[in-house]
Amino acid sequence: MSFYEHTFVGKQDISEKDVNNVIDICTKIIEKSGKLLKTEKWGILNLSRKIKNNKKGIFVHFKFESTGDVVKDIEKKLSVDNKIIRYLTVRYEKLDLQKNYFEENKKEK
């Protein structure tokens, strides 16, 4: 089993309920044959350029341990969801579970 980080970007105008539904779907897929280590909701952030006519997006980040089949299942599910703008999955040898990427930016403001 390998470690993965998966981030998806949802449209800025979807409801909190829709975001939670996508999180639940991803969580269920991961927990079928893996272990969810951490989920972070980063909130609405500006995109560096327009993607499908969206200037902002809702970012959600997962850290988990699983097999490659789970990654394929998650990406297949998100690719047909019209609420999702983009997604990215990265494989790691070791994960840093202590660092929250966007907590530092919130503290500085």
The domain limits of the chain are 2-108
- Mean pLDDT for 47-52 is 92
Query: What pairing do the DSSP bridges indicate for beta strands 35-51 and 2-11?
Result: unpaired
Residue 107 in this model has a pLDDT that exceeds 80: no
Q: Which fold has domain 2-108?
A: Alpha-Beta Plaits (3.30.70)
Per-residue CA distances from 85 to 31, 33, 39 (Å): 24, 26, 19
- Mean pLDDT for 57-67 is 92
pTM: 0.84
- How confident is residue 8, by pLDDT bands cut at 50, 70 and 90? very high
